[in-house]
A = this chain, B = another copy of it.
Amino acid sequence: MDEIEPFIQRMAAVPRSGLHNPFKHPERYVMLGEVCGAAAREMFKPEVTDYFIRLIQRVAPKSYAQAGGEIKAVRTWLQDFSGNNVRMLAESQGLPGDHVGQSTVGYRMPFGGVSVITPFNFPLEICGIQSLSAVFMGNQCTTKVDWKVAIVMEQFLRMLHHVGLPKTDIDFIYCDGPVFNEVLLRGDAKMTLFTGSQRIADKLAVDLKGKVKLEDAGFDWKILGPDVMDVDYVAWQSDHDAYGFAGQKCSAQSMLFMHENWTKPDVDIVGRLGRLAGQRSLKELTNCPVLTWPTDKFLAHMNRVLAIPGASLAFGGKELADHTVPPQYGAVEPTAVRIPIEALEDPPSFEVATVELFGPFQVLVDYKEGQQSKVIEAINRMPNHLTAGIVSNNPRFINEVLANSITGTTYAGARARTTGAPVQHWFGPSGDVRSGGMKVVNSLMEW
């Protein structure tokens, strides 16, 4: 706390008209495009790719391929804004006025000194993309990453300096939440982009008098509709959505609504999911330690869900055998508890069933033909609206669910998933003015 003064001074000293705007230092838009281009070229070098992958692996239990996914996403994103593409973001719109000599033009302006706060699960992608975005439009950004993984962003920043980013554009701070809160308040942060839990999000919104944008946590659902097709693919995708990186993604599948057509013996989606989950192992990093839910806390929550009337254990539910995971982390099998849709009509049961367990855990919910409205009621009572999946190729069914839900990113179609966030689309919760009022529908009709 006694070292934060320089961060506060710098944040407070940024002019509200920013480091640049369409009237001030426009050459910086071009420079930032060149920095993106050069950074992308750097990250295409095999030794740089490898360095960042291994660095991520040091701090997060991801496989080489998973960690490589972050490098690839950032690299593509850097290309997306190379050349003139930062400048293009500053496009203005004009209209003729009421008489000769009058015209009206709207320009995109910065806020001044802003900040970005990001969590542990994507050590490079979230903080890298968000910090540069803030700078693109003329803000000076102070970035705070969960200290456990902050070294990755630090190295990325040094690489950006190497390829031309001015050292004063982004301030990087190692500290914990309460300390940074003090920086934000005393530095008068004009805007804070926060990715993390809803509890902290609400606290920041109050402390900063609403000067925030939020990407809060997600309790993400998927619905298997009445039309059964592409069963192998659907099972594989569901396993991946629920248990990839041991469920430690804000887009992980937490609840799977299964139409009765999917649980008939010839389809047996639950059996398929159990078999796929059973193949995951620590050794191959297809299962991994759980960073925020120790084993006993995990099992205790599972038992609360199992206490819901009608609940049964579908698969998993045990601590891993022969592991060396330290006790402050979790080491558990991919687990699923199965309940009937009627159970969600009881408020206490609903509350237990919809806790976001940031680990390899999901709730399977059986529903029957004619009970679609109960499914929609359930998804609308959930407070988070990050991602969702509608597995169906029936346009009328898909439309009915889209019409009555507000998830920010909804995947719809026979290949629907909940995780993935392709680079080409906006990603964030919907239904909250502090994030975005937008719903992105990602249609996945074929394979």
Taking beta carbons and an 8 Å cutoff, which residues of A are in contact with B? Answer: 15-17, 21-27, 29-30, 33, 37, 40-41, 44, 76-85, 87-88, 90-112, 137, 190-191, 202, 205-206, 208-213, 380, 393-396, 399, 402-406, 413, 415, 422-426, 430-434, 437-447
Q: How far is the CB of A212 from chain B (nearest CB, A)?
A: 6
Q: How far is the CB of A424 from chain B (nearest CB, A)?
A: 5
Q: How far is the CB of A159 from chain B (nearest CB, A)?
A: 16
Q: How far is the CB of A204 from chain B (nearest CB, A)?
A: 8
**Nearest B residue to A203, CB-CB:** B209
Given known A102-B444, A206-B206, contact A85–B80 (CB-CB < 8 A): yes
**Nearest B residue to A440, CB-CB:** B106
Q: How far is the CB of A397 from chain B (nearest CB, A)?
A: 10
Give the chain B neighbours of A404 by CB distance below 8 A.
15, 17, 24
Given known A98-B30, A210-B210, A445-B395, contact A83–B82 (CB-CB < 8 A): yes
Given known A41-B44, A404-B24, A413-B101, contact A92–B94 (CB-CB < 8 A): yes
Given known A109-B406, A209-B205, A395-B393, contact A101–B446 (CB-CB < 8 A): yes
Given known A17-B380, A212-B210, A404-B15, contact A95–B425 (CB-CB < 8 A): yes
**CB pair B83 A79 closer than 8 Å:** yes
Q: A26-B99, A94-B94 are in contact. List 7 more A-B contacts (CB 8 A).
A: A76-B84, A77-B83, A79-B85, A102-B446, A105-B440, A109-B431, A111-B437
Question: In whole angstroms, what is the CA distance A160 to B4 when docked?
Answer: 51
Question: In whole angstroms, what is the CA distance A439 to B90 when docked?
Answer: 12
**CB pair A109 B430 closer than 8 Å:** yes
Q: How far is the CB of A292 from chain B (nearest CB, A)?
A: 24
**CB pair A422 B97 closer than 8 Å:** yes
Total identical chains = 4
**CB pair B380 A100 closer than 8 Å:** no
**CB pair A94 B95 closer than 8 Å:** no
**CB pair B403 A23 closer than 8 Å:** yes
Question: In whole angstroms, what is the CA distance A24 to B402 when docked?
Answer: 8
Question: In whole angstroms, what is the CA distance A193 to B362 when docked?
Answer: 38
Give the chain B neighbours of A211 by CB distance below 8 A.
205, 210, 432-434
**CB pair A95 B424 closer than 8 Å:** yes
Given known A17-B405, A96-B29, A399-B23, contact A422–B104 (CB-CB < 8 A): yes
Give the chain B neighbours of A432 by CB distance below 8 A.
111, 190, 211
3 closest cross-chain pairs (CB), A and B: A101-B446, A79-B83, A210-B210
Interface hub of A103, A110, A202, A426 (most chain B Cβ within 10 A): A103
Question: In whole angstroms, what is the CA distance A110 to B430 when docked?
Answer: 9
Interface hub of A40, A99, A395 (most chain B Cβ within 10 A): A395
Give the chain B neighbours of A209 by CB distance below 8 A.
202, 205-206, 210, 434
Q: Could you list 5 A-B pairs, sorted by A, with CB under 8 Å?
A: A100-B399, A106-B426, A107-B439, A111-B431, A209-B434
**CB pair B100 A95 closer than 8 Å:** no
Question: In whole angstroms, what is the CA distance A8 to B406 when docked?
Answer: 22
Q: How far is the CB of A441 from chain B (nearest CB, A)?
A: 5
**CB pair A396 B445 closer than 8 Å:** yes
Give the chain B neighbours of A380 by CB distance below 8 A.
15-17
**CB pair A27 B94 closer than 8 Å:** no
Question: In whole angstroms, what is the CA distance A434 to B208 when docked?
Answer: 11
Q: How far is the CB of A192 from chain B (nearest CB, A)?
A: 9
**CB pair B431 A112 closer than 8 Å:** yes
**Nearest B residue to A18, CB-CB:** B406
**CB pair B98 A90 closer than 8 Å:** no
Give the chain B neighbours of A106 by CB distance below 8 A.
425-426, 438-440
Question: In whole angstroms, what is the CA distance A173 to B393 when docked?
Answer: 45
Given known A106-B426, A109-B439, contact A96–B22 (CB-CB < 8 A): yes
